[in-house]
A = this chain, B = another copy of it.
Amino acid sequence: MSLQHALLTSIVEKPCSGYELARRFDKSIGYFWHATHQQIYRELARMEEQGWVSSVEVEGGRAGKRKFKVLAAGKKELRRWASEQSEPFRLRDEMMVKLRADAAVGPLGLAEEFERRLRLHEQELQTYREIELRDFSDPDMPRETQIHYLILKAGIAFEAGRVQWTKEALKMLRQEAST
């Protein structure tokens, strides 16, 4: 299971509460590993049991707020996991199934949904490009920043590919709608 490792990574980067973790996750690792807050709290509890992380009540914060940090055993586990082989992730895209369904049972009017998606992907791509300009303009980057940039570039390439492909799909879908 890798959610635990994704959480470990995020806490190593910056110790925090479960709530903060859930919000930060959305904005960083969440781009390529999504989790809900319920899952996060569950895994935090498990990892604390396993001795990978520990938490202390935050004095002066809201009641019950706990700050988590990664213990030595957690770091060791993170290193162990990172050096393991892993399978490339699988795509899981409903739109492809819908396209095949359209091919099999006749036109299903998918163009509208593709247009909606095109706008979404273009917006996402723009967001990424803005981050690129804001955070990675300086050509002289330390190792850590280089890696973060590399990850962003994967996201940019992926979204750019999606945008381009979606346009192509729309061209096809519109073409036949007019005949």
A residues engaging B (CB < 8 A)? Answer: 2, 5-6, 8-9, 12-13, 28-29, 31-34, 75, 78-79, 81-83, 85-86, 88-105, 108-110, 113, 116-117, 120-121, 143-144, 146-148, 150-151, 153-155, 157-158, 161-162, 164-165, 168-169, 172, 176
**CA separation between A158 and B163, bound complex, in Å?**
12
Shortest Cβ distance from residue A139 to the other chain B in the assembled complex, whole angstroms? 14
* Among candidates B32, B92, B144, B146, residue contacting A96 with C-beta atoms closer than 8 Å: B32
Q: What number of copies of this chain does the assembly contain? A: 2
Q: Report B-chain residues with C-beta under 8 Å of the C-beta of A88.
A: 95, 117, 120-121, 162
Smallest CB-CB A-B distances: 8 pairs? A103-B147, A82-B108, A32-B96, A32-B91, A9-B101, A103-B144, A32-B93, A12-B104
Q: Are B157 and A161 in contact (CB under 8 A)?
A: yes
* Among candidates B100, B109, B161, residue contacting A83 with C-beta atoms closer than 8 Å: B109
Given contacts A5-B101, A85-B116, A157-B161, 20 further A-B contacts (CB under 8 A): A2-B94, A5-B97, A9-B97, A12-B105, A29-B97, A32-B90, A32-B91, A32-B96, A32-B97, A78-B101, A79-B108, A82-B102, A82-B108, A86-B113, A88-B95, A88-B162, A96-B154, A100-B151, A143-B176, A161-B161
**CA separation between A99 and B9, bound complex, in Å?**
10
Shortest Cβ distance from residue A166 to the other chain B in the assembled complex, whole angstroms? 9
Shortest Cβ distance from residue A82 to the other chain B in the assembled complex, whole angstroms? 4
Given contacts A100-B147, A143-B176, A172-B146, contact A92 B94 (CB under 8 A): no
